[in-house]
């Protein structure tokens, strides 16, 4: 067994420089590569995460602005619709007023035309009544012979 122990101790003693070299390589790797790489990766992650958070915040802000713009647009549409309805109502009221005035003027014109027509008819009747007797006498004179006319005049 001592032989085995001697061989093992020789192997361990021979591997000590390899272990020391491995540990030095490991420490150098950590110091030169792993720590800067970890630092760069953490910065990259922080920047990426920050960019993601900024993008999320920008999206949320854009959604808020979109909602605000939609509300403004909706209120503007309601305002425009209300103004349009008010203008249409005012136009309707104005047209009703004008139409009523036109009706009144037309009725007034019809009444005055009817009165004028009745006056003209009355004048014509009076003229006809006044001219009936001479026309009748002339018709009788024309149609009846002279002898009958003188007899009728005497009667």
DSSP 32: I
Say what the pTM is: 0.43
pLDDT at 33: 93
| 46-97 per-position pLDDT tens digit | 889 989 999 999 999 999 999 999 999 999 999 999 999 999 999 999 999 9
Mean pLDDT, residues 134-149 taken together: 77
| 6-41 per-position pLDDT tens digit | 888 888 888 889 999 999 999 999 999 999 999 999
Domain that holds residue 63: 2-154
Q: How many domains does the chain have?
A: 1
């Amino acid at each position: 067994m001592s032989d085995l122990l001697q061989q093992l101790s020789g192997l361990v003693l021979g591997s000590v420089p390899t272990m020391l070299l491995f540990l030095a390589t490991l420490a150098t790797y950590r110091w030169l590569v792993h720590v800067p790489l970890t630092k760069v990766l953490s910065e990259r992650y922080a920047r990426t995460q920050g960019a993601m958070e900024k993008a999320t915040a920008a999206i949320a802000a854009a959604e808020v602005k979109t909602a605000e713009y939609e509300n403004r647009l909706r209120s503007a549409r309601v305002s425009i619709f209300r103004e349009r309805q008010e203008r249409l109502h005012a136009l309707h009221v104005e047209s009703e007023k004008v139409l009523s005035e036109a009706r009144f003027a037309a009725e007034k014109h019809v009444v005055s035309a009817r009165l004028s027509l009745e006056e003209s008819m009355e004048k014509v009747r009076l003229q006809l009544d006044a001219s009936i007797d001479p026309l009748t006498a002339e018709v009788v004179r024309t149609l009846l012979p002279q002898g009958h006319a003188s007899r009728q005049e005497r009667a």
